[in-house]
Structure 1
Amino acid sequence: MIAKIHNFQIDLSKPIDISIPLTNTDENPIAWYIEKPVIEPVVFGDWIGKVSEGKSSTNFNTISFNPHGHGTHTECLGHITNDFYSINQSLKQFFFIAKLITIEPEIIGEDLVITKIQVKNAIASSLAGKTIEALIIRTLPNQKDKKSRKYSHTNPPYLSEEAAVFIRESKIQHLLIDLPSVDKEHDEGKLLAHKAFWNVTNTVHLNSDARLYATITEMIFVPDEIEDGNYILNLQIVSFENDASPSKPILYKIADFRL
């Protein structure tokens, strides 16, 4: 099925899912020192909400998870502000012109860091004069165990503050990355990249030029066979009134470059 989005043609029958599914197994990725998600049937006395147990006509599970620590999620600036801001209110459009880039973070001291010059060089080319609305960063090495990795206390790679400022100044509204955070794991709560991308200078009394409708999506996975380049991104979330939601970013190859 062919659709036209932003004057580009895409084939809706060929989605490229770059999300990581949420499971209650040890294969689920975990960050931020929590345990794996819990998916279990509701129990009322001797009644169990599970068809295979023979006491229910339906499967009736309760799911307990943390969007930030258990897989692909999209967050708004409410993640770092004193006042409440909801991803469900911040993200009101869902299709964007996107660019996928691949970067091998640089060794800086004891850290692996995505630098401004790396990002700048990777997004140098434009798409038929169109503004890039979303940037997707795939990091190297790109092992498949990113889909099940236990990130706590491992000091994963992160985005430099200067790179985040450059991305913001490039008018990119949506940033997606295959790491548990754009910031350093232990950073004394500075959250430099988050603040730079959202242009938040005061988390208690939000500054008037903060980017209310910009989002960050973390813990994606982009397989090696997906080539760097330009795509249409469909960024899907759950309608949670929360700072973050589990999400399902989908890429579509652009079939027609005519404007």
Structure 2
Amino acid sequence: MKALIDNKFQIDLSKPIDISLPLSNTEANPIAWYIDKPEIKPVKFGDWVGKVSEGSSTNFNNIFFNPHGHGTHTECLGHITKEFYSINQCLKQFFFTAELISIVPKEMNNDFVITLESISTALDVTLKNGVPKEALIIRTLPNLEAKKHKNYSHTNPPYLAEDAAIFIRESGIQHLLIDLPSVDREEDEGKLLAHKAFWNVKDINNLNADARLNCTITEMIYVEDDVKDGSYILNLQIASFENDASPSKPVLYRIEH
């Protein structure tokens, strides 16, 4: 089935490229921020168990998870502000022009950092050769399968430099997706420099008028090696949580025009 986006881009809806990680109650579930794996288990009322294999007419599970620490999730600036902002209220459109780039983080002071130079080089080529992109997807190299199941806690994963986040913001990118648990350093004394730079949040207690309410960050994606760098249409799907973040399912479509 073909679809036309904004009367410009033709995509084949029968060929989605899912770049999300599923949530499960197994050791295969990726984890970050020092928490345990998710819980998915049947409801119990006395002797009644919400599980067909144990005599119930239906499977009836409770799920306990944290969107930030248990897999692919999309967050709004409410993640870092004193005032409450919901991803369900901030994200109102769901299809975007997007660019996928692959970056090798640079070793700096015992960290691995996605630098301004690497981002600007990739985006300079992108913005010169096509229409301005609304979303940027960063795949870090090496693109290990272990990303799908990794426990990131206490591992100091790569992160995005503040000046690189500023460059992404000033390039007009509204939605940033990355295959890491955070755009910021795991332990940064609460500075959250890349988050603040991307959303243009200058004061978490008194939000500035030019903060980017409609922009999102999606973390803990995974892009398979056979998905080539270049231009796509992104469908960014979230659950309707009134929360700063939601588990999400970003899906790419190749542009066929």
Determine if the TM-score, normalized by the shorter chain, exceeds 0.5.
yes
What's 1:70 paired with?
70
What's 1:19 paired with?
20
**Structure 1 residue 144 and structure 2 residue 137: aligned?**
no
* 1:152-189 Cα shifts (integer Å, max 9, x gaps): 00000000000000000001000000000000000000
Matches within 5 A, 1:145-224: 145-224=146-225
Amino acid at match of 1:110: N
- Looking at structure 2, the residues matched to 129 and 145 of structure 1 have their Cα atoms a distance apart, in angstroms, of 33
- Looking at structure 1, the residues matched to 189 and 13 of structure 2 have their Cα atoms a distance apart, in angstroms, of 44
What is the CA distance between 1:128 and its match in structure 2? 6.2
The SS at the match of 2:255 is: strand
**Structure 1 residue 240 and structure 2 residue 241: aligned?**
yes
- 1:127–1:230: 8 Å Cα contact kept in structure 2? no
Amino acid at match of 2:10: Q
* 1:182-213 Cα shifts (integer Å, max 9, x gaps): 00000000000000000000000001110000
What's 1:102 paired with?
102
User: Against the structure 1 CA distance between its residues 162 and 128, is the aligned structure 2 distance closer, same or farther, given a 3 Å change threshold?
Assistant: closer
- Looking at structure 1, the residues matched to 235 and 129 of structure 2 have their Cα atoms a distance apart, in angstroms, of 20
What is the CA distance between 1:140 and its match in structure 2? 0.7
What is the CA distance between 1:20 and its match in structure 2? 0.1
What's 1:133 paired with?
134
- Looking at structure 2, the residues matched to 243 and 105 of structure 1 have their Cα atoms a distance apart, in angstroms, of 28
What's 2:255 paired with?
254
**Structure 1 residue 80 and structure 2 residue 80: aligned?**
yes
What is the CA distance between 1:126 and its match in structure 2? 3.0
Instruction: Report how many residues are paired.
Output: 255
- Looking at structure 2, the residues matched to 110 and 190 of structure 1 have their Cα atoms a distance apart, in angstroms, of 19
* Aligned-CA RMSD value: 0.8
What is the CA distance between 1:127 and its match in structure 2? 7.4
- Structure 2 residues without counterparts, runs of 5 or longer: none
Amino acid at match of 1:219: M
- Looking at structure 2, the residues matched to 116 and 224 of structure 1 have their Cα atoms a distance apart, in angstroms, of 24
Q: So what's the TM-score if we normalise by structure 2?
A: 0.98
What is the CA distance between 1:123 and its match in structure 2? 1.5
What's 2:121 paired with?
121
- 1:85–1:243: 8 Å Cα contact kept in structure 2? yes
What's 2:11 paired with?
10
- Looking at structure 2, the residues matched to 194 and 123 of structure 1 have their Cα atoms a distance apart, in angstroms, of 19
Identity of aligned residues (%): 71
- Looking at structure 1, the residues matched to 114 and 233 of structure 2 have their Cα atoms a distance apart, in angstroms, of 24
What's 1:52 paired with?
53
What is the CA distance between 1:131 and its match in structure 2? 1.5
The SS at the match of 2:53 is: helix
- Structure 1 residues without counterparts, runs of 5 or longer: none
